[in-house]
Amino acid sequence: MSNSKQVVVVGGSVAGLFSALLLSREGHRVKLVEKEALEECDSPVEAFEKWDRRGAPQTRHSHAFLARLHNEIKAREPKLYAALLEAGAETIPFTEMTREFFPDEELLPEDDEITLLACRRMTFDWVLRRHISAETDTEILSGVQVVGLEAHPDAETGLPRVTGVRVSRDQSDPLTLEADLVVDATGRNTRLAHWLEDIGADPLEQESESCGIFYCSRFYRLLPGVEAPTMEGPIGADLGYMKYAIFMGDSGIFSITLAASPDDDALRQLRKPAVFDAAARNLPTTSRWVDSAVSEPVTDVSTFANLKNTYRYFVREGQPLALGLFPVGDALMHQNPLAGRGCTMAWLSAQLLSEAFAKHPEDPIAFARALDAEVIRQVHPWYQTMRDQDRSAGELLREEQSGTDPYGFQREDGSIDPKAYMRSMLKDGLMPALREDITVLRAFLRVFNLLDAPGDLMARPDLMQKVLAVWQKREQRVPISFGPQRAEMVSTLEAAQS
Ligand SMILES: Cc1cc2nc3c(=O)[nH]c(=O)nc-3n(C[C@H](O)[C@H](O)[C@H](O)COP(=O)(O)OP(=O)(O)OC[C@H]3O[C@@H](n4cnc5c(N)ncnc54)[C@H](O)[C@@H]3O)c2cc1C
pLDDT tens string 23-42: 999 999 999 999 999 999 99
Q: How far is the CA of 333 from the centre of ligand 1 (A)?
A: 11
Backbone angles phi, psi at 302, to 5 degrees: -90, 140
* Minimal-distance CA residue to ligand 1 atom 46: 55
Distance 56 CA to ligand 1 centre (A): 5
Tell me if 125 CB under 6 Å of ligand 1: no
Ligand 1 contacts CB of residue 364 (under 6 A):
no
Residue 14 Cβ < 6 Å to ligand 1: yes
E strand or H helix that includes residue 400: helix 380-401
State the closest ligand 1 atom to the C-alpha of 217, by its place in the atom list counted from 1: 1
Which residues, 6+ apart, have CB-to-CB distance to 151 below 8 Å?
160, 161, 162, 163, 199, 200, 322
Task: Compute the distance from residue 383 Cα to the ligand 1 centre, in Å.
Answer: 16
Q: Ligand 1 within 6 A of 33 CB?
A: yes
- Supply the residue whose CA is at minimum distance from atom 37 of ligand 1: 186
> In this predicted structure, what is the pLDDT of residue 3?
81
Q: Looking at the chain, which residues constitute the CATH 3.50.50.60 domain(s)?
A: 6-63+120-144+307-384
Q: Name which of 235, 236, 243 is nearest 389 in CA terms.
A: 243
Between CA 216 and CA 276 the distance in angstroms is 8
Q: Is 327 in the pocket of ligand 1 (CB under 6 A)?
A: no
Residues of the chain with pLDDT under 70: 1-2, 232-234
What local confidence, expressed as pLDDT, does residue 483 receive? 94
Q: State if residue 467 touches ligand 1 by the CB under 6 angstroms criterion.
A: no
Could you please state the CATH topology (level 3) that the domain comprising 214-306 is classified under: Alpha-Beta Plaits (3.30.70)
Beta strand 181-184 pairing with 325-327:
parallel
Q: Where, residue-wise, is CATH 3.30.70 in the chain?
A: 214-306
Looking from the CA of residue 54, the nearest atom of ligand 1 is 47
Pick the CATH number of 6-63+120-144+307-384 from 3.50.50.60, 1.10.10.10, 3.30.1300.10, 3.40.50.1820: 3.50.50.60
Tell me how far CA of residue 122 lies from CA of 49, 209, 235, 314, in angstroms: 10, 28, 21, 30
Residue 457 CB–ligand 1 contact under 6 Å: no
- C-alpha 258/C-alpha 214 separation (Å) is 8
**Ligand 1, residues 9, 10, 13: which to mutate, most atoms within 8 A of Cβ?**
13
Share of the chain above pLDDT 70, in %: 99
pLDDT at 230: 81
Q: How far is the CA of 117 from the centre of ligand 1 (A)?
A: 18
Report the residue among 33, 343, 345 best suited for mutation to probe ligand 1: largest number of ligand atoms under 8 A from its CB.
Answer: 343
Q: Whose CA is nearest to atom 39 of ligand 1?
A: 186
Distance, CA of 151 to CA of 380 (rounded, Å): 28
pLDDT of residue 498: 84
CA 463 to ligand 1 centroid distance, Å: 35
